[in-house]
Amino acid sequence: MPFAADVIAVDLACGVGDDGRWHGWVGIRVQAAALRGLGLHPDQPTATATNPSPPAWWHAAAERRAR
């Protein structure tokens, strides 16, 4: 793992949703300073998208192929 144990926190939760089915949630938090080494800190230009998002049909086709 690229992060030390003291800079990352993982939260797990589960419960019954509005539809009556059980759902699980995972929350992952990383200290902002730890993201710099990977170029992911919000202040770094590499952390922002530089190209437009693919068209909607591309996302739909990728989801169909994933099944």
The answer to whether 23 and 15 are in contact (CB under 8 A) is yes
Give tens-digit pLDDT for 7-64.
999 999 999 989 999 999 999 998 888 888 777 777 777 666 777 877 888 888 888 8
State the Cα angle at 35 between 7 and 10, rounded to 5°: 40
What is the number of domains present in the chain?
1
Q: Which domain covers residue 13, as residue numbers?
A: 5-66
**pTM over 0.85, yes/no:** no
